[in-house]
Chains A and B, each alone.
Chain A
Amino acid sequence: MTYEEGRGPLGGEPVSDGMNRILVIEDDRSVGKVVQVSLRLAGHDVQLATDSPGGEVALRRGELDLVILDINLPGGTGLELLRCLRDELGRRTPVIMLSGQKQEESIVQALEWGANDYVTKPFSPRELVARVNRWTKGSGHVAQVR
């Protein structure tokens, strides 16, 4: 189970309060790192979990402004976590799926199960940040990436 607490941009000072708290559940280290850095540069507080059990712990732990969720994860699937968030925890936190599954069925299923948005890999970090900003609008301070 891997779950990394939020740190400042590129491992710097801890982030201050008032930012949007975003949980990224992604097993691909490259993807996780890019998402983490681009969202931090855009002014968000980012936590990273790299497997399903770690993601579930982070989901249950506290208030989040948004969740970015991969579908294929070690130890479970992103859809199971989505169901846990919506049905078991009863939270309406915006969820953006970030997945390599491009089939219409996968996208439709994720949206039907309660995802708010779906981004396919390969992805554009700028586009992802724009979507995150859209869903977190009003819930914290948001800066443009770069």
Chain B
Amino acid sequence: MWRKYGDDLYAAVVLAVFSIEAVTLGALTWIFVLRLADDLGAGEVGAFLAGSLALTAAALLVIGVHILGYHVFSSRRERGWQQRLDSWTERWVGVLFDTELPPPSPLPREAVESLLDLRETLVGTEGERLEWLMRRYGLAEELLHRSRAVDGPRPSGLVAPVRRRRLSSRLDALEALAKARVGEAIEPLIGLLGDREPAVRIMSLRSLARTLARVPEGAPREAAAERFAEVIVGTDLPSGAIEESLLLLEATGPSVLGRLLSAAPVPAHGRQSADVRLDDARLAKVLDAVGRLKVLPLVDQVAPFCGHPNPEVRAAALRALGMIGILPPGTEQAAAAALIDPVEYVRIQATRTASLLPRVGAEQALWTRLADESWWVRRAAAQTLLGLGADGPSLLERAGREHDDRYARHMAVQVLLDRGHLDPARARRLRAFA
């Protein structure tokens, strides 16, 4: 709460207090120099010293009173804000259920905030009514206006704090647009992806994704998905921000992800996209999003990337298939080949996906991976073996007793112990074997 309001006043108080202290200490030093040179009497020095101490005490008192006063003030302000927000929420709910008339324009801030909160929460008839209310009050235009930069050169030096304030207001407007989820914001938000402020570009992408998440099913959603896929291919934003936006797409996600996978070159098939290309870092994030959103219809499009030359893409494809829980026909060979991949993190993902191989093949593969040179692969193999149906624990216990590799036996016992399948005494007996 401390930093929410009043940064400027706090900075001014601290500056004043420190300035007074600096001047006092400087004067005190000079007084002592004069005293050493016998130009000043002891009484005068004592009087000045007492004055300095009084000034320091007063300065500390000012800063202390400011801090305490701030807490009292901000608590009251927060409470008041919350009460006004609640009363507006109640009023809007009354409007939604026809027990109250819509309030006249212009709306106060808390009315806009509560309207946006409701818009975030409701769909169906009431959601559509909220969208209509937002149009009626021109909220989308107002927020879009606030989200745009003021033309002119990039400010620097003393003007920079003012610029930051404008930036925070723009970011607030973009967050509000994300809550509003109005279709007319889509193109202006795409325009903001080329903004000179990186924070605005990222926030615009996020708002765009959240807006697209509520686009109605059918032709509008398909058109929006096409546009978003073009944006993702063309943008220079970090791949982490891109993945976050893909995950925010909700129901529009599968259409966008399908288009992005079609735009990616698949080396095994020699297929290259016509005019757009998704680089490997973004392709890996797209594959990860497919897995996280569990987009089952895209497994056939994911599978070819298990043999991609870039290890990050191979690992992401295997992880996506593992999360979805399906290995499409014809992918078994690529998945089995990935078990002996030279890159450790690809082997880890391949080991986790091995549970999707036919049962006998899965057991053999995991038994072998238990002896992998990497601790992480051995651990993944033990955990996957444990999860192989009802007899997983007994299989792993057998590995703990009979595996040829000492490290494999150790890992099997350790995972059984960690997952509560062994008591410490039994683990000790097995370790004696290991």
Contact = CB atoms under 8 A, between A and B. Distances in A.
A126 B126 contact: yes
Contacts of A10: 90, 94, 99
Most central of A41, A125, A145 by chain B CB within 10 Å: A125
Given A10-B90, A10-B94, A146-B97, A34 B122 contact: yes
Given A29-B86, A30-B114, A122 B120 contact: yes
Interface in B64-95: 85-86, 89-90, 93-94
Interface of B: 85-86, 89-90, 93-94, 96-99, 114, 117-118, 120-127, 294
List 7 A-B pairs, minimum CB-CB distance, nearest first: A124-B124, A30-B117, A122-B123, A37-B93, A33-B89, A30-B89, A124-B123
29 contacts: A10-B94, A10-B99, A28-B121, A29-B85, A29-B86, A30-B89, A30-B117, A33-B90, A33-B93, A34-B93, A34-B96, A34-B118, A34-B122, A37-B93, A37-B94, A41-B97, A41-B99, A104-B294, A121-B121, A123-B121, A123-B122, A123-B123, A123-B124, A124-B123, A124-B126, A126-B124, A126-B125, A126-B126, A146-B98
B98 A30 contact: no
Given A30-B114, A30-B117, A122-B120, A38 B97 contact: yes
A121 B126 CA distance: 13
A127 interface: yes
Contacts of B126: 34, 124-126
A125 B117 CA distance: 15
A125 B14 CA distance: 51
Interface string A119-146: 0011111110000000000000000011
Given A122-B123, A126-B126, A37 B118 contact: no
A38 B96 CA distance: 10
B46 to A, nearest CB: 58
B125 A124 contact: yes
Nearest to B116: A30
A107 interface: no
Contacts of B90: 10-11, 33, 37
B121 A30 contact: yes
A127 to B, nearest CB: 6
- Chain A, interface residues (CB within 8 Å), range: 20 to 34
Nearest to A121: B121
Contacts of B97: 37-38, 41, 145-146
B124 A125 contact: yes
Contacts of A145: 97
Most central of B97, B114, B125 by chain A CB within 10 Å: B97
A10 B421 CA distance: 55
A78 to B, nearest CB: 17
A33 B118 CA distance: 10
Contacts of B124: 123-127
Contacts of A124: 122-127
Nearest to B250: A102
A29 B89 contact: yes
Given A121-B121, A123-B122, 14 more contacts: A29-B89, A30-B89, A30-B114, A34-B96, A41-B97, A104-B294, A122-B120, A122-B123, A122-B127, A124-B122, A124-B124, A125-B122, A126-B124, A126-B125
Contacts of A146: 97-98
Contacts of A11: 90
A31 interface: yes
Contacts of A9: 99
Contacts of A122: 120-123, 127
Nearest to A37: B93
Contacts of A28: 121
B98 to A, nearest CB: 7
Nearest to B90: A33
Nearest to A145: B97
B83 to A, nearest CB: 11
B425 to A, nearest CB: 32
A135 B317 CA distance: 44
A97 to B, nearest CB: 16
A146 B97 CA distance: 7
A122 B114 CA distance: 15
A110 B285 CA distance: 30
